[in-house]
Amino acid sequence: MEIDILTIFPEIFDGPFSQSIIKRARDKEVVTIRLHNFREYSSNKHKNVDDYPYGGGAGMVMLAEPIVRCIESLTAQRSYDDVIYLSPDGELLTQHFANQLSVKKNLILLCGHYKGIDERIRELVITREISIGDYVLSGGELAAAVVVDSIVRLIPGVLGDETSALSDSFQDNLLSPPVYTRPAEFRGKKVPDVLLSGNDREIVRWRHEQSLERTRKRRPGLYDDL
């Protein structure tokens, strides 16, 4: 998979993309992530990327020109499955949505700032919008990092244990069951006997029951969809 991220703050990604699973996926070349500072595509001598909104009002609006030129320079090189704008107005990111994105080959992620982007950018080049939740972030970068993390870990070969993404919470609309490791007793609290029993069938059954119970209690909305 190849992911091109358009941002005026590329350094924000230094941390999330240079550690852990994403680092491993990049090292193995399972994913290629390129960062593009679209400020470089501004034809304005001050390299401005925003301006006052027509009609007045608070906040600045991101200019169409640098973003559209940057996207066009990428789409001239290869075709993209989607050109995604990270926005609280977008389609809510879910595990199901992440699964769908994880099989794409080429994606562009556009990170906005301030009051938003000139509407014509949406009309001309954006094919999809994603929100990571019903709250407003100061920019799309953290949302883009969340989207990348949620999809890259699903690409086959990225996680050490091939099955582990399948047993994640939400893969079957259920939350994960509780997990334990050594010691078998900690501050008087014991690991449930069934997990020490060696009886695989019972363990599978127990975990499924715990998943159902946890989902019913914590996320009744998910449970009702089962």
Binding site for ligand ADE (CB under 6 A): 86-88, 131-133, 135-137, 140, 143
Least distance CB 64 / ligand ADE (angstroms): 18
Measured torsion, CA atoms of residues 215, 219, 221, 226, in degrees rounded to the nearest 10: -20
Least distance CB 115 / ligand ADE (angstroms): 11
Between 87 and 211, name the residue whose CB sits nearer to ligand ADE: 87
Between 133 and 220, name the residue whose CB sits nearer to ligand ADE: 133
Least distance CB 137 / ligand ADE (angstroms): 4
> CA angle, 36 as apex, 30 and 42 as ends, to 5°?
165
Return all residues near 47 (Cβ < 8 A) that are at least 6 apart.
39, 40
Least distance CB 94 / ligand ADE (angstroms): 13
Coil, helix or strand for 56? coil
Between 25 and 143, name the residue whose CB sits nearer to ligand ADE: 143
Least distance CB 93 / ligand ADE (angstroms): 8
Between 108 and 159, name the residue whose CB sits nearer to ligand ADE: 108
**Distances in whole angstroms, Cα of residue 68 to Cα of each of 28, 73, 77, 125:** 31, 9, 14, 7
Q: Are 143 and 129 in contact (CB under 8 A)?
A: no
Question: In whole angstroms, what is the distance from residue 110 CA to residue 108 CA?
Answer: 6
Between 152 and 158, name the residue whose CB sits nearer to ligand ADE: 152
**Distances in whole angstroms, Cα of residue 54 to Cα of each of 33, 45, 61, 146, 220:** 35, 22, 9, 32, 45
